[in-house]
Amino acid sequence: MYVCLCAGATSATVTEAVARGACTSKQVAAACGAGGDCGRCRRTVRAIIEQHFADPAGEPPCRQCTASVFCQLHNGASRSTARAS
């Protein structure tokens, strides 16, 4: 499914950018263009980011984490991996 018509970015393209480390809509825009033009797709981009970083155990994020920005501890690591470090 197309997420961003301006850049021609699909959900797979955005998901790949997030998997490579983009954790904000600005970082996704820099990586693949989605959300960098008119901005109508930013809500969908943020939802993909949130889904990627969702905790399957249902634990709430720490105080430093928000819906689109994650602290150094949780950025790019699962909670179980982060705790083990």
pLDDT in tens, the chain (85 residues): 999 999 999 999 999 998 888 889 999 999 999 999 999 999 999 999 988 877 555 455 555 555 556 565 556 554 444 344 3
Q: What pLDDT is stored for residue 67 in this prediction?
A: 54
Q: What pLDDT is stored for residue 55 in this prediction?
A: 57
Architecture of domain 2-84: Orthogonal Bundle (1.10)
Among the listed residues 62, 76, 59, 61, the one whose alpha carbon sits nearest the alpha carbon of residue 24: 76
List the chain domain ranges: 2-84
Taking the complete model, does pTM exceed 0.85, yes or no? no
